Homo-oligomer: A and B are copies of this chain.
Amino acid sequence: MSSTLSTPPGYAPFDLDSLRRWLAGKPELAARLGGDPEGWRVDEVGDGNLNLVFLARGPAGGLCIKQSLPYVRVAGESWPLPLERAWFEQRHLADTGPVVAGLAPRLIAYDPVLYAVVMELLPHHKIMRLALADGERHDHASIKVAEYAARATFATSVLARPFEAVADLQAVYARNQALTRISVDLIFTHPYIEHERNRWTSPQLDDLVADLRGDIPLKRAAARLGHAFLTRHEALLHGDLHSGSVMVARRDGSGVARRDGSGAAPLDGPGATPDDARVIDPEFALYGPIGFDLGAYVANLLMAYFSQPGHEQRLGDRADHAEWILSQVGVFWRHFAARFDALWSERSATATGQAAGQASGQAPDAYPAALFAGAAGRAALADERRVFLDGVYTDLVGYAGIEIIRRTIGFAHNLDFERIADPERRAACERRTLRLARRLMVDPQAFADITSIEQAARELAS
């Protein structure tokens, strides 16, 4: 896998041998694995679109090592991509780590020359998207992702911190341009024009794609969402918060495995509880509207839902599972909203004490607690939180729609649909999903609350 793309001095992609030697040369990492390096098990398991991912295990424990390649893995060297995305991923893990402990992998080390992020190994986990396609229920997963989103976005916003601390972070993530470029092109632009990177189930969906290219209300919505994505810098986002960026505990309790599900021996280790769930892969991190992350997650639940008939062995045998997936849309949003509201409420109470009538210092600068003193003030601030979260919800609706479209007729597709071998069945599922996506984007006001999204999905599916 040698590359003809130029890379900085000292960089080389790991292979199994060079990684083993590198780990053996780092005493603090070698100690975590324990024993003789020759006895370590090292696997390359990356099945994502961009990077190398290795798992290393020894008698004392395991590590996950994620390394940037100088190109988009799924596309090859014809699509170069700067190595520094690994730097942004470790920076996001470091910046959010204190508030999302237990909901994301722990950052252990970063090598700036090799662009390698070393994290704790999650030995009992599999990708949530795969679990949903496999028909597994993970009742805590969406709650944990919602908790993660609430904590990470709140803590990095001017609702929680003085603007200076937030502006410093904004300046950092404003440099994550290579991956933001991918989002701008693949989410907000390419699906709405003719572009060689688009693909869809053809010829079954050709009519729908042709309609979409002439769908002016849809393109207006896409443009508004794109402008908000680039200018509304509310919080530090994950940037790609879908079910493929979540790991859940394996139902069979078995140990680490390839992401394709092939098994391995049981193993103790971090997150060895059945309800563990972790958000991974924040390399697309950027400041943006909070609803962007939430909409992406909801969209991927909806795609999982609409894909279920395609996974049936006999008619209706996925109906219960599908309905459970759909219910997670509401579970997710309601938990997010309640927790974001609670974090904000607690922060205001603390800030009132801290600032004692002063607005500067460590108190947050947005909705300053000093402006909302007393019982009437507290009630007004509670109203403002509701107004704010209503706005986040409206954003969620639109971004859910645009995520569905880009994952169905754009460049990057989902296993949910891709695993449906029969193109007729697949297209039927995709068509229903796209119909909902259009309504979410063009008429978000019609979805007054999260239940109305579930209801609309249910009607389209039946």
Q: Which residues of A are in contact with B by a Cβ distance under 8 Å?
A: 157-159, 163-164, 166-168, 170-172, 174-175, 177, 180-181, 184-185, 188-190, 192-195, 216, 219-220, 222-224, 226-227, 230-234, 357-360, 365-368, 370-372, 376-377, 380, 383-384
The A interface, classified by DSSP as helix, strand, loop or mixed, is helix
Contact of A366 (CB < 8 Å), options: B159, B195, B230: B230
- Asked if A366 and B189 sit within 8 Å, CB to CB, the answer is no
Contact of A360 (CB < 8 Å), options: B172, B185, B371, B377: B185
- Asked if B365 and A230 sit within 8 Å, CB to CB, the answer is yes
Given contacts A167-B175, A181-B360, 10 further A-B contacts (CB under 8 A): A157-B231, A163-B184, A167-B177, A193-B368, A195-B357, A216-B380, A219-B380, A220-B384, A223-B371, A226-B365
- Asked if A167 and B194 sit within 8 Å, CB to CB, the answer is no
CB distance from A231 to the nearest CB of B (A): 5
Q: Given A167-B180, A174-B174, A193-B359: A368 and B230 within 8 A (CB)?
A: no
Contact of A223 (CB < 8 Å), options: B163, B219, B234, B366: B366
Q: Given A163-B184, A365-B226: A158 and B371 within 8 A (CB)?
A: no
Q: Given A171-B174, A360-B185: A230 and B371 within 8 A (CB)?
A: no
- Asked if A193 and B371 sit within 8 Å, CB to CB, the answer is yes
- Asked if A230 and B163 sit within 8 Å, CB to CB, the answer is yes
- In the docked arrangement, what's the CA distance between A232 and B230, Å? 10
- Asked if A380 and B175 sit within 8 Å, CB to CB, the answer is no
Residues of B within 8 A of A188 (CB): 365, 368
Residues of B within 8 A of A371 (CB): 189, 192-193, 219, 222-223
CB distance from A352 to the nearest CB of B (A): 12
- Which residue of B is nearest A183, CB measured? B163
- In the docked arrangement, what's the CA distance between A171 and B226, Å? 20
Residues of B within 8 A of A184 (CB): 163, 359, 365
The 9 closest A-B pairs by CB, nearest first: A189-B359, A171-B174, A167-B174, A227-B366, A171-B171, A223-B367, A219-B371, A216-B380, A193-B370
Residues of B within 8 A of A376 (CB): 216
- Asked if B180 and A163 sit within 8 Å, CB to CB, the answer is yes
- Asked if B168 and A227 sit within 8 Å, CB to CB, the answer is no
- Asked if A372 and B158 sit within 8 Å, CB to CB, the answer is no
Residues of B within 8 A of A227 (CB): 158-159, 366-367
CB distance from A441 to the nearest CB of B (A): 13
- In the docked arrangement, what's the CA distance between A372 and B181, Å? 20
- Which residue of B is nearest A360, CB measured? B185
Residue of A175, A185, A230 most packed against chain B (CB within 10 A): A230
- In the docked arrangement, what's the CA distance between A149 and B383, Å? 35
Contact of A370 (CB < 8 Å), options: B164, B189, B372: B189
Contact of A368 (CB < 8 Å), options: B163, B189, B224: B189
23 contacts between A and B (CB under 8 A): A158-B231, A163-B184, A163-B230, A168-B174, A181-B360, A184-B365, A190-B359, A192-B371, A193-B371, A195-B359, A219-B371, A219-B377, A219-B380, A220-B384, A222-B371, A223-B366, A223-B367, A223-B372, A226-B368, A227-B367, A231-B232, A231-B366, A232-B232
Residues of B within 8 A of A222 (CB): 371
Residue of A190, A219, A222 most packed against chain B (CB within 10 A): A219
Residues of B within 8 A of A158 (CB): 227, 230-231
Contact of A384 (CB < 8 Å), options: B157, B166, B224, B232: B224
Q: Given A189-B359, A357-B194: A226 and B366 within 8 A (CB)?
A: yes
- Asked if B189 and A177 sit within 8 Å, CB to CB, the answer is no
Residues of B within 8 A of A223 (CB): 366-368, 371-372, 384
Residues of B within 8 A of A233 (CB): 231-233
